[in-house]
Amino acid sequence: MLRRAVTTTTGLLARHIRAQPFSTDLSSAPAADAGFVEAWKKVIPNIEPPKTPLSFMQTRPSTPPSIPAKLTVNFVLPYASELSAKEVDMVIIPATTGNMGVLPGHVATIAELKPGVMSVHEGNDVTKYFISSGFAYIHANSYADVIAVEAVPLDQIDASLVQHGLAEFTQKLSSASTDLEKAEAQIGVDVHSALNSALTG
């Protein structure tokens, strides 16, 4: 009886999962924002509708039949684009679950980033950035989008300022009296500890 219930449940789940297409099965061309345009023309027929975010998005390349030789990386910050469609051999990102190496053909993944070092490998050249936090979106078509809140090349960080900041936030943490002060001080300690580890390790 238990086996029949498990088999039935598994069959129902499989049918439900198959009903939802994977992102790689979807069309690579974005669908037109027809609903918005139609509604706009009903309300204001004599003025062209404004462009929506969908109209600014580039079409997503389809998943290739074989694994490409390079990984295409987009690395953006709120105020700048560090890498745009850069073809590299590998990227190592500091995910909250641990450092994650991303090669061409990596399984589609979304990873939350923690303070740490992201390294971009191109042949024998390795460029390292310290990032504060963010997300990485790895697509099945060997594209990776890394979105960070703050990032700086590792060679531009002053080790003495990091040590000073770590001491300052450690002192603030020990003398904090409210939950807000403790949380702010703990964030400062975590970031400066990660910076210190990045510079010394």
Amino acid at 64: P
Residue 142 contacts residue 87 (beta carbons within 8 Å):
no
pLDDT at 199 over 80: yes
- Altogether, the residues listed in the chain come to a count of 201
pTM of structure: 0.66
Q: What does the pLDDT look like over 101-116, one tens digit per residue?
A: 999 999 999 999 999 9
Helix 179-200 / helix 159-175 crossing angle, nearest 10 deg = 150
DSSP state of 141: T
Q: Please tell me the predicted confidence (pLDDT) of residue 91.
A: 97
Residue whose pair of structure tokens reads 């509708």 in the numeric block: 49
Q: What does the pLDDT look like over 128-145, one tens digit per residue?
A: 999 989 999 999 889 999
Q: Please tell me the predicted confidence (pLDDT) of residue 32.
A: 55
- In Å, what is the CA distance from 41 to each residue of 30, 51, 58? 21, 13, 25
Q: Which two tokens stand for residue 199?
A: 């510079």
CB atoms near residue 14 (< 10 Å): 10
Residue 192 contacts residue 132 (beta carbons within 8 Å):
no
Helical ranges in 27-89 per DSSP H: 34-43, 53-56
Q: Which of helix, strand or coil describes residue 200?
A: helix
Give the pLDDT mean for 172-194: 90
Residue whose pair of structure tokens reads 């998943």 in the numeric block: 63
Residue 112 contacts residue 99 (beta carbons within 8 Å):
no
